[in-house]
Structures are given as C-alpha cells and as structure tokens.
Chains A and B, each alone.
Chain A
Amino acid sequence: MVLCKNVFKEFNNGTTFIAVNNVSFHVKAGEFVAIMGKSGSGKSTLLNLIGLIDKPTSGSIFIDGIASSDMNESQLAGIRLEKIGYVFQSFYLDHNYSVYKNVEIPLLIANTPSHKCRERVEICLEQVGMLDKLHSKAGTLSGGEKQRVCIARALANNPSLLLADEPCGSLDSENTEVIMEIFQSLNQKGITIIMVTHDIEEGKKANRIITMKDGKI
C-alpha cells in the first residue's frame, strides 16, 4: 500500500534541519500502523510526505505502487482525492459551514452527483455516529464531535488509506476512546490506517508501531 524508500526531508530556514532522515518502510494494505515518537522527531512530517501534501527532498514514496516523484501537481491532487483520507489534529472544519457542507467538500471536488453526495455524506456520518448533527454548524460542535466529522470527511471519497495526525491530541480520554474505536472499526473494514501519535495507549491499538527519533526510524 505505502512504500517509503530512503526518504529525506530537509527544512531550510537559514539553517538546515533534517526532519526525516533516510527513512524506509513498507505498510501493507489493511494494516493499522502507529508512528510514534517525541515532539520534533519528524513523525508528522513523514505523515505529510506519505499524504502527498509535502514533497521529500530526496527518496521515493510509492502509493499503491505509483511513485509520487513521477507525478505532477494535478496527479498528486488526484491521488489525495481518490486514495487518501486525512484526519488532522486541528480538524480544519469550516465553522461557517454545516456538518453536511464540511463533509461534502471532497465529494464536490470529485464531481459526485448531488443525490449520491447526500447519500455518501449520510453514510460517512453514520459510520462516526454523527448523522443527527447533519445540519448543525461545525462551530457549535464539541472537540470530539469535530474530530468525528473530520473522520467522516476523510472517508467521504471511500479512500483505501487513512492518515491521522495526532487525531486525539486535543481530545479528552472519553473522546479518545470513541475515536480509536472508530479507527479500529474502519481498519476491520479493510482501510489501511497510518496514525501519528505520542500516546503509548493509542499506539497499542495499532497492529504495528514505528518509532521515530531525530528523523530516523
């Protein structure tokens, strides 16, 4: 599903900082992998590279056997749209929009017909137990609810790979438990999940843990 080969990522803000240093690993389809490490270890950067929202300085990342380095901006956007679902720690829900409108965004980008859009939004919200909040404004939701809507949005285009960057980082233990249960249930349905976390309890829910330190595995 995901193959990283000698991936390097450098940031240059006056001084060069290597965030990801020669990382190679393979995630098989249907796996639930947790990437763990201390703050600044490079785990979120690695997740962004896998999610194709950032480009590696060198090395290759393969998604379903396709090298990201060979793709142009439009093709990368296509892969992000069709194959990858992204769950952010900060949710990035638009508070001006309703829950429905927020979840609908990837479907509109994918040109899904309106009747199917509604059907798909309802299915996704049902999967995360948020169907009753369909018309609520995103700004009125609690942190746990926002994260569940964020997961629903990530699932909208039925991706085979779900990337989660500290999904429970800003949630209490009760909501963390709910979110982790959702991830486990999605994984059981065959969705490959790569989750970045620094919480060992959350990590234990994954099939495999990859630990990062100073940009290395």
Chain B
Amino acid sequence: MKIRNYFKFAGQEIRVSLSLFIFYMIIFILLLSASVTFLDSALFLPDKIASTMQKMKTDNIIIFIEETSKLQELAKSIPMKLYECKVGGYEFDPERLGLSSNEASKESNSSIAFSGGVLLKDYQINNQVALFISGNIISGEFAPNVPNSKGALPTWISGTMADAFGIDCQDELQLIVSGKNSVPLYVQGLYTSNTAFSDYYIPEEAYSLFNVNNADSKLQITVSPLRFRDIYSLLNRLQKSDIPCLYSEQTVRSTQMMYAAFYISTIILLVALSGILLHLLNLYYNRRATYFALCSAVGMTHGDVLKILFCISEIIIIATTVFSSALSYFALYKIEAYINKLFLLQNEQTKFPFISLILNIILLQLCILFVIKKVSKTIKGNNINELLRCEG
C-alpha cells in the first residue's frame, strides 16, 4: 500500500471514532504541553535564576588551595570567574606591609580597616581582580611580574589606602613574612577603591615567598563557574581532588533539585503519554477488530494494519503538538512573568520552546515505535477467521 493510502485509512478511521480520539487528544495536549513546559524550564529557567544568583554572588565557591596550578587545571575544563584571592589564616592588614596604624592617623583621621589580597599571575580564569585593577588605575601602571631595578616585586594599592598612609607610586614597602624576614615590594600603581576588592594586592611570587616561611598558609580563592550548571561538576572535582571549599549548600542543592524535578517530570509525563497512547490504540483496535479482520480478509497484511495505526498515532501527535505548543508557550509566559517578579528581573519576551518541543517530539516518536511494537504482538496473535466469527 502507498503511504497516501495509509493516511487515507487513518483519516477515515479517526473520523469514524472522532469522539474517542478527541477525548484522548485533550489528555495528550495537556500532558505534552506540561512536558514541553517542564523540559523548557529545566533547560532555561535555572540559568535565568542562576544569573540572578551570580549577581547576588550566592553561587560563589571559596576554594582553599595551596598550589594555584591545581586551580588552573580546573579552570581549563570548567570556565570560571575569579573574584577574590586572600591568604587564609593570616592577617593581611597594612602592618603586613610595614605600615603602622599610627602612620595612617597622621595622614588622615580615617578609621577604615584595610586588608590585602593576592594577585594570581595567570589570567586564564577570568581574573576579575586583574581586570578591575587594570581598568581602574589612578596613577602608575599595571604590569604584573615586572620587578623594579632593585629586584622589588610590584604591588598595587587602592587610592583610599594610599591617601590614608601617604603612599605614592614607586614607594618601597616590605612584606613582613615571619620574624624579621621580609620581601621587598614597590608600589607599581594605585587604583580606585572598591568595596568588592581588597585595599592592596601583592603578587603571587611575594605570596610564594611568604608561604615558604608560613607553610600552613593557604589561599582562599573565591570563584564562580561561568555556566551555573558547571557548579556541580566543579564541586565534584574539588571533592575528588580533596580540595576543601565553602559554598552555599542550600542554594546549590535547591537548584540541583529544581533541575532534577523538571527533568524527572518530563520523563514521567512522556512515559504516561506513551502508556495512554498504548491504551488508546489497544482500545481502538479492539473496537475496530472486525473492520481490520475484514480488511485482512480482502488482502491487507498485519504490517498494513500496523502502518495504519502508526499513521493514526502520527496524526494525533501532530495535532497534539500544534495545540500543546500554543499551550506550553502560554504556560512558559506565565512562569517567566512570575520568576521575573520573584527575582526582580526585567521582563523579556518569552521565547517559543522550539528546542523542548523538538526534543519532546523525538522522544514521542520513540514512544510511538515502542507502542506500535507492543500493539503488533496483539495483532499478530489475532486470527482473521476468529475475529470475523466473533462478529458473526
């Protein structure tokens, strides 16, 4: 039989049992639109929430690490931003640079507490500190890894701290390591003060020299993966490498659960949909068994019957897809509006759920094939003569 004729049979059969098919189609529309909505939410909603979380920095992970090379390794496979780098367990106040608090009060009456950080020498991990300093230099320059003629390492100081201590570019400072030991530093540049960053930064080489004499010191590096979903793989990698870290477990777990809930709901809905489709085809076939027995008696094969059932399924699914795409678009629009309101985000135009719809259709096609295979067992087990005799 030609494909056109299969569809002709299928169309006629749908018309004959229209009320049955419409009833089931309404169920399919509801299930498929829910499935598309859930899948689309699973694919895109967490990223939207994540962007808010990134803005609020609730997705930040503080990694405690000694060798920065390990961080570089991680950053190669998981692109991430570095927000801050401090030395854990040690007070890095101006006194660490040999600046006394009395000196600060001489220059200004400020009682601000200043603290320092470390500038990592590699830039491969979107080092926000380096980007900030280089973009906010007030005087001097930002040329890391360039010692001065006396071999002193460069350091950078915020404008506020420089004012408080009367420091200027090219001034020489000493990083107090332990006891009377120190590392010579010089002020290479001054940058605009910002509460998100430390008041001064020493280079990684200086930290290394400090670390030699203070073996129990570790860097506290605040990072955030560029893609929110990478947060789980980063945490796993850190756990595997025995690198301790701090993160908002509640936030991460709840979003992880949200991902899982959406994906599991999609799968459950698709399984339910294929189960109902199987039920529908069995119900329909049993209602029309005599008709198909007659068709077989006049020359239709079991394969032809199955192909007609396949065409019926396809027609129903196509019609279902059309209606459910509209319904799921509406549902997504409502969900996005709610999320935007909840997270105080700007309202954007809801995107049509193409990807989710296509993924659902592909999964549905697999479901149809599975259902047809199941129904074929019933059909092949039937005897034309017995079916006709039942009717007779």
Contact = CB atoms under 8 A, between A and B. Distances in A.
Interface of A: 48, 51, 53-54, 73-74, 77-78, 80-82, 86, 88-90, 92, 94, 96-97, 101, 105-106, 108-111, 153-154, 157
Interface in B37-51: none
Contact of B299 (A48, A101, A110): A110
Contacts of B299: 77-78, 80-82, 106, 109-110, 157
A65 to B, nearest CB: 20
Given A74-B303, A90-B391, A97-B16, A109 B298 contact: yes
Nearest to B6: A108
Contacts of B12: 97, 101
B383 A89 contact: no
Nearest to B2: A111
Interface of B: 1-2, 5, 8-9, 12, 16, 290-291, 293-304, 383-385, 388, 391-392
B392 A111 contact: no
A172 to B, nearest CB: 19
B298 A105 contact: yes
Given A48-B385, A90-B388, 9 more contacts: A51-B297, A53-B385, A77-B299, A77-B300, A80-B297, A80-B299, A81-B299, A92-B297, A105-B295
B119 to A, nearest CB: 78
Contacts of B294: 92, 94, 105
Contacts of B388: 53, 88, 90, 92
A109 B295 contact: yes
B201 to A, nearest CB: 81
Contacts of A82: 299
B6 to A, nearest CB: 9
Contact of B301 (A73, A97, A101): A73
The 3 tightest CB contacts between A and B, nearest first, are A81-B299, A77-B301, A92-B294
B391 A108 contact: no
B386 to A, nearest CB: 9
A85 to B, nearest CB: 8
B329 to A, nearest CB: 36
Nearest to B297: A53
Given A53-B385, A92-B290, A109 B304 contact: yes
Interface hub of B9, B296, B298 (most chain A Cβ within 10 A)? B298
A74 B304 CA distance: 10
B9 A92 contact: no
A108 B298 contact: no
Contacts of A105: 294-295, 298
A81 B297 contact: no
Nearest to A108: B5
B1 A80 contact: no
A48 B384 CA distance: 10
Contacts of A157: 299
